Structure 1
Amino acid sequence: MSEIKNPETKSKKSRKLARRQESNILIKNFAQISNVNLSFGDLTVLVGPQGAGKSLALQWLKIALDGRQVVEALRSAGQSTDRSDILIDLIFGTGMASGWNSESTQINFESSRINLRNISKRGTGKEQLFFVPAHRSMLISDGWAAPFQKLGPDTPVVARLFSQNLFDRFSGKDAGTLFPVEKRLKKEIREKIDAAVFHGGKVGIEEDQQHSRRLRLVHGDMHLPFMTWTAGQREFTPLLMGLYHLLPPTQQRKREETNWVVIEEPEMGLHPQAITAVMLLVLDLIWRGYRVVLSTHSPHVLTMLWLMRRLKEYHARWQLVCQAFDVKLQPMQAVAKAALEKDYRAFLLEFNSEGKVNSVDISDLDPSSEDERIAGWGGLTAYSSRFADAVRDAVNESER
């Protein structure tokens, strides 16, 4: 007997999907940003040159969803949030208050206007967006993360919140072995990460000679302190530990209250093999129901986005997703199938002729586009193309 579907339930699902597709943030005249308008898919990638405001835009997304959580954390740390200039500095880092202009600055999330008076009322107080900042290795440079209140106002609040999350994990009862851990990651993803990053090593918390607990990487008889690790291992480990927060060791796919994930520069210090493992983990996150936003300077990340858009466009078999990531078919079937149904978007944040930043939707990622910003994937492939052109010209000239 065929299943009878409730039309009302289907309608609710359709409305929920529509709401997801409409999520956008508009930022005007804040710091170097002139006009940035971002509409979010299931996976959205931001690209652009250094200092183009990618991090500022993503921090505003955090405030739009979790302003109450942010303000409560600041107040709990004994910091005054009553004055607007102080609040901006506490959120974005000392000196950023000068980027706010009460007359011209405009921040909108969906249909809601954000101002300095209503930040503390945004969200429920429970974390809706989990933010993994860039330069995360600096938060644990001595092998241990600092709690929120130990980091000063020079540190953006998203980094302070992330450091607190790491501190709680390192201090928890399960902070013996942190990698590899069964039932925390899918076996196929765990094996990819091990082959690309740790090469059989084990990450955990151990006591040092001064009886202080610190991160260690164990390879055979070697127990290596954090600062002796490779740059990629130092950058990837806090990223992975942070993402553990989103992967409940239960039958639940995701944390109930958290729906968004921001990861800044997931490629930092990593070989393309390791970046591929990270992007496979990102597909797992969107399969779980999270909406993921990345900022990147890596062509490899956009190559993955291009891959998924093209496979979706051509109604490809889910097996081709597994083929692309070199993972076994059956264990990753659900993730691969879901990946082909998701919405992938990309935006370039670029400087205009006045030195201010605007956004451009480059989601098509079409190499044949007449718009160089789209064809060159926001500039990430333009330089290699120029190098290839120079070599081609040299070959042609030598044959004359």
Structure 2
Amino acid sequence: MELKIRNFGPIKKADIDFGHLTFLIGPQASGKSLSLELLKLIIDKQHIISTLRNYNYILSKTDARNILEWYFGEGLSALFKEETQISWTDNLFTPQDLLKTISRQKASEVQKESVFYVPAQRILSISDGRPKNFMEYDVSNPYVLRRFSETLRIFMQGGLGNPDTIFPMRNRLKGSIRKSIKDTIFHDGKVVLDKTGEQRKMKLEIDEMRIPFMAWSAGQKEFMPLLLAIYCLSGPPTQVINKSDYQWVIIEEPEMGLHPRAIQSVLLEIIELVQSGYRVVVSTHSVTFLEFVWAFKNLQSLSDEDFKAAMCEIFDIRTSTTAANLFDRLKEKTIKTFYSAEQFSENGVTFADISSLDAFSENTNISEWGGLSSFAGKSSDIVSRYGK
């Protein structure tokens, strides 16, 4: 499944052939989020249009700039230029496809959503301790944030069974992963729903205190909406969110605010999503994810038993636990990595496939993992020369 982009916003050229798990790396403002938002727009255009209609957005049937601004954000319809060319699985996509969808779709039709999108701005979805309604945001916020927040709101209202405690929950995470999150992120604290005010809001209960959301650590605040997203996609089925509708999961910068050990806990959840049949795409600035990909590729030729044992050792998981089953047949999956700044110039960004992560490659984008390992390599070289 390949997304081809030419001359879209800052992106000059991108050919992204997605694996079962795909990582996008690169500097800020190099087109990672735009390429992923574009992917969702192409796949979920019918659902997006029906959602905007449901919230009484005025959609023009003659000017695609209208819906592009409702989706990408105010003023961003100019991402599409005269020379823009986009194709998905060899089918061309243009803004005219959105107008055709608007014309053909009945206003009462309920469309399924295929892409579950966890945006980088996810902390805004629960900034006061409870998920916000879609219409609480203005059009300067991208659609993916508004939709994500609304999904969490619906899920918390009707998909969790009205619990007092939303972490830890036994039926939502494997025991080893739950313990890892508890140890590395919440440190024996419980996330509870406080019902003393006008609205139920999340608070962190620890050492006989109930701490409001905005007083949590940065990592805890960043992780909580991601945890709720994982709840939506795993655990028992619910009537409000049909997890079987989703085929893709996009997660932007899941490492934000987290210690490397906590990032490993998140990585285990990402692996579980892949093993559950979702195609997962992650944009990241964390070397931890690339270290996993490098290890995966170097261990992939092992026997099933040895591969599983090696993975368990990497993640400090006992082979006798149910969490160890996460690695069953994992080595048969395809993991891809793309770097979004091969040629970062006034002409735009070119995406490069660096999936081999070969440390001996003559291409420094590959050998230095898109720049994520360059500082460590440079430091080691300098220490070896000056430390003699």
State the one-letter code of the partner of 1:138.
L
Aligned match for 1:99, one of 79, 86, 93? 79
Instruction: For 1:325, give the aligned amino acid.
Output: F
Higher relative contact order (CA 8 A, sep 6+): 2
Q: Which amino acid aligns with 1:237?
A: M
Q: Counterpart in 1 of 2:68? A: 88
Q: Of the candidates 135, 154, 168, which is equivalent to residue 168 of structure 1?
A: 154
- Which residue, out of 25, 28, 32, partners 1:47? 25
1:219 alignment counterpart = 206
Matches within 5 A, 1:381-396: 381-396=373-388
2:315 to 298, 318, 325: 325
Q: Is the 8 A contact 2:129 2:214 kept in 1?
A: yes
User: How far is the alpha carbon of 1:159 from its aligned partner?
Assistant: 0.7
CA distance in 1, matches of 2:367, 2:301: 17
Point out the more displaced range, 44-53 or 316-325. Answer: 316-325
**What's 1:139 paired with?**
125
Matches within 5 A, 1:182-331: 182-208=170-196, 210-249=197-236, 255-315=243-303, 316-330=306-320, 331=322
Distance in 2, matches of 1:362 and 1:189, equals 30
Letter in 2 for 1:391: V
- Distance in structure 1 (CA, Å) of the matches to 2:287 and 2:52: 37
The answer as to whether partners of 2:359 and 2:367 remain within 8 angstroms in 1 is yes
After superposing the two structures, state which structure 1 stretch, 112-121 or 122-131, moved more.
122-131
Equivalence for 1:155 = 141
1:78 and 2:56 correspond: yes
Distance 2:337 2:59 in 1: 34
- Deviation, 1:375, is 0.4
- The letter of the residue matching 1:324 is I
List structure 1 segments (4+ residues) > 4 angstroms apart after TM superposition.
Answer: none
State the alpha-carbon separation in 1 of the partners of residues 308 and 144 from structure 2: 36
How far apart are 1:85 and its partner, in Å? 1.2
What is the TM-score normalised by the length of structure 1?
0.88
SS at match of 1:105: strand
Corresponding residue of 1:16: none
What is the distance in 2 between the residues matched to 1:174 and 1:294? 31
Deviates more, 1:128-137 or 1:72-81: 72-81
1:371 lines up with 2:363 in the alignment: yes
- Secondary structure at 2:300 match in 1: helix
Quick check: 1:48–1:54 contact (8 Å CA) kept in 2? yes
Q: Could you say what secondary structure the match of 1:88 adopts?
A: helix
* 1:327-348 deviation digits (Å, cap 9, x = unpaired): 1213134321232211111000
Q: Cα distance, 1:384 vs. partner?
A: 2.1
1:373 alignment partner AA = N
Between the aligned partners of 2:163 and 2:6, the Cα distance in structure 1 is 43
- The separation in 1 between residues aligned to 2:273 and 2:157, in whole angstroms, is 25
Which residue matches 1:125?
111
2:9 to 31, 34, 40: 31
| Aligned mates of 1:119, 1:283 — CA distance in 2 | 34
Q: Which one-letter code corresponds to 2:155 in the other structure? A: R
Farther off after superposition, 270-279 or 192-201: 192-201
**Counterpart of 1:282 in structure 2: which amino acid?**
I
Q: Deviations over 1:230-266 (max 9, x none)?
A: 1000000100101111114159xx9322111000001
Per-residue CA shift, 1:199-225, capped at 9, x if unaligned? Answer: 1111122124x4332111111311010
Q: Distance in 2 between matches of 1:340 and 1:381?
A: 24
Partner Cα distance (1:364, 1:282) in 2: 20
**Is the contact made by 1:170 and 1:205 (CA closer than 8 Å) also made in structure 2?**
no
> How many correspondences in the alignment?
370
- Counterpart-to-counterpart distance in 1, 2:64 and 2:182: 46
Q: Contact 2:44 / 2:115 at 8 angstroms: preserved in 1?
A: yes
Unaligned runs of 5+ in 2: none
- Structure 1 unmatched runs, 5+: 1-22
- Structure 2: distance between partners of 1:371 and 1:188: 39
RMSD: 1.9
Deviation of residue 314 (structure 1)? 3.9
2:213 is aligned with what amino acid?
A: F
What is the distance in 1 between the residues matched to 2:131 and 2:243? 23
- The CA deviation string for residues 130-149 of structure 1, in whole angstroms up to 9 with x for no partner, is 00000211221111221112
Query: Within 1, Cα distance between the matches of 2:190 and 2:37?
Result: 33
Partner SS state of residue 294, structure 1: strand
Preserved CA contact (<8 Å) 1:47 1:346:
yes
% identical equivalent positions: 36
Alpha-carbon distance in structure 2 between the residues aligned to 1:374 and 1:81: 44
1:60 paired residue number: 38
Query: Helix, strand or coil for the counterpart of 2:185?
Result: helix
